[in-house]
Chains A and B, each alone.
Chain A
Amino acid sequence: MTDSGDGGPDVTQDVQVPWEEDPGDLYDNAPCGYLTTLPDGTIVKVNETFLDWTGYERRSLVGRRRFRDLLSPGDKIYYETHYAPLLSMQNDVHEVAFDLVCADGRRLPILANSALGRDPAGLPRVIRTTIFNATERRGYEKELLAARRAAEASERRVRVLQEIVADLAAAPTEADVAEAVVRAPAPAFGASSATVWLSDPDRDQLTAIACTDPAGPARDDVPRGSSRAVAEVARRGDLHVIGSIEEAEEHFPDLAAAMRRDRRGTAVLLPLTASAAEDQAGVEVLGVLGFDFVEQRELTDSELRVVRLLGHQAGQALDRARLYDDLGRREIRSIFLAETTRALEVVPRLMPRARRLIERMVPEMAEWAEVRLHVGPAGLLADAGGPAPDPDRLDERIVEVLASGQTQLTDDKGPDPDCAVLPLVANGKVFGTLALRMAPGRRTAVTEAVFLAALADRAALALENARLYEQQRAIARTLQRSLLANDLPSDPRFAVETHYQAAAHDLEVGGDWFDAFLITPDKLAVVVGDVVGRGIDAATTMGQLRSAIRALASAEAGPARLLERLDRFVERVESARMATVAYAEVDLSTNEMTYACAGHVPPLLAEPGGPPRYLLDARSGALGSRAGRSMRLEHRTRLPAGSRLLLYTDGLIERRNRGIDAGFEVLARAYAGRRDSPLPGLAAGLADFLVGREHADDVCLLCLSIGVEERLERSIGADPLQIALLRKDLRGWLIANDVDDDSTQAVLLACSEAVANAIEHGYRDDPFGIVEVVAAVSPQAVEVRVRDQGQWRATNADTARGRGLKLIRQVMDHASFDHDEGTTVTMRRNRREAR
Chain B
Amino acid sequence: MTTDQWVTFTKVGTVDLVRLAGEIDLANAPEIGREIVRQTGHAGAVLIDLTAVSFLDSAGVRLLDGLVGDLDDQGTPIRFVVGATGPARMTLQLCAFRDDLLATDLDRAASELAP
Contact = CB atoms under 8 A, between A and B. Distances in A.
Contact of A803 (B23, B27, B62, B90): B62
A145 B87 CA distance: 128
Contact of B91 (A720, A723, A749): A749
Interface in A271-295: none
Contacts of B35: none
A709 to B, nearest CB: 22
A749 B54 CA distance: 11
Interface in A710-760: 719-721, 723-724, 727, 745-746, 748-749, 752-753, 756, 759-760
A657 B66 CA distance: 61
Interface in A775-807: 800-801, 803-804, 807
A749 B26 contact: no
A721 B27 contact: yes
A724 B54 CA distance: 11
Nearest to B56: A749
Given A723-B26, A724-B23, A760-B26, A807 B91 contact: yes
B55 A803 contact: no
A760 B62 CA distance: 14
B62 A756 contact: no
Contact of B90 (A724, A749, A800, A804): A749
Q: Binding site of A, secondary structure by majority: helix, strand, loop or mixed?
A: helix
A724 B27 contact: yes
A810 interface: yes
Given A749-B57, A753-B57, A756-B57, A807 B26 contact: no
Interface in B34-70: 55, 57-59, 61-62
Given A720-B25, A723-B25, A807 B87 contact: no
Contacts of A724: 23, 25, 27
B114 interface: no
Interface size on B, as a range, is 10 to 19
A419 to B, nearest CB: 39
Given A723-B25, A760-B26, A752 B57 contact: yes
Interface in B72-115: 87, 90-91, 94-95
Choose among B55, B58, B62, B87 the residue with the greatest number of A CB atoms under 10 Å from its CB.
Answer: B58
Nearest to B22: A724
Given A800-B58, A803-B58, A807-B58, A752 B91 contact: no
A687 interface: no
A301 B79 CA distance: 114
B25 A756 contact: yes
A811 to B, nearest CB: 7
Nearest to B23: A724
Nearest to A803: B58
Contacts of B94: 807, 810-811
Contacts of B59: 756, 800
A803 B25 contact: no
A807 B27 contact: no
Contacts of B25: 720, 723-724, 752, 756
Choose among B23, B25, B26, B94 the residue with the greatest number of A CB atoms under 10 Å from its CB.
Answer: B26
A732 to B, nearest CB: 14
A804 B57 CA distance: 8
Contacts of A810: 94
Given A745-B87, A756-B58, A803 B95 contact: yes
A813 B61 CA distance: 22
Given A727-B55, A800-B59, A759 B95 contact: no
A727 B24 CA distance: 12
Contacts of A719: 27
Contacts of A727: 23, 55
Choose among A719, A724, A801 the residue with the greatest number of B CB atoms under 10 Å from its CB.
Answer: A724
Interface string A184-216: 000000000000000000000000000000000
B55 A807 contact: no
A723 B27 contact: yes
A157 B47 CA distance: 108
Contacts of A720: 25-27
A756 B25 CA distance: 9
A748 B91 CA distance: 11
Nearest to A751: B57
Nearest to A728: B23
B23 to A, nearest CB: 6
A745 B90 contact: yes
B23 A807 contact: no
A281 B62 CA distance: 92
Contact of B95 (A721, A801, A807): A807
Contacts of B87: 745, 748-749
A800 B55 contact: no
Nearest to A804: B58
A800 B58 CA distance: 7
A723 B91 CA distance: 17
Contacts of A753: 57-58
A803 B61 contact: yes
A800 B91 contact: no
Nearest to A808: B58
A109 to B, nearest CB: 116
A355 to B, nearest CB: 28
Contacts of A801: 58
Contacts of B95: 803, 807
Interface string B7-27: 000000000000000010111
Nearest to A746: B90
A436 to B, nearest CB: 38
Choose among A727, A752, A811 the residue with the greatest number of B CB atoms under 10 Å from its CB.
Answer: A752
A804 B62 CA distance: 10
A810 B91 CA distance: 10
A719 B27 CA distance: 8
A1 B62 CA distance: 166
Interface string A756-778: 10011000000000000000000
Contacts of A759: 26
Contact of A748 (B26, B27, B55, B62): B55
B82 to A, nearest CB: 13
A724 B94 CA distance: 21
B55 A752 contact: yes
Contacts of A749: 55, 57, 87, 90-91
Contacts of B91: 749, 807
A803 B57 CA distance: 10
A749 B23 CA distance: 11
Contacts of A803: 58, 61-62, 95
A746 B56 CA distance: 11
Nearest to A805: B58
A744 to B, nearest CB: 10
Contacts of B90: 745-746, 749, 811
B60 to A, nearest CB: 10
27 contacts: A719-B27, A720-B25, A720-B26, A720-B27, A721-B27, A723-B27, A724-B23, A724-B27, A727-B55, A745-B90, A748-B55, A749-B57, A749-B90, A752-B25, A753-B58, A756-B57, A756-B58, A760-B26, A800-B58, A803-B58, A803-B95, A804-B57, A807-B57, A807-B58, A807-B94, A807-B95, A810-B94
Given A719-B27, A723-B25, 15 more contacts: A723-B26, A727-B55, A749-B55, A749-B91, A753-B58, A759-B26, A760-B26, A800-B59, A801-B58, A803-B62, A804-B58, A807-B57, A807-B58, A807-B91, A807-B95
Interface of A: 719-721, 723-724, 727, 745-746, 748-749, 752-753, 756, 759-760, 800-801, 803-804, 807, 810-811
7 nearest CB pairs, A to B: A720-B27, A804-B58, A720-B26, A756-B26, A803-B58, A721-B27, A800-B62
Interface of B: 23, 25-27, 55, 57-59, 61-62, 87, 90-91, 94-95
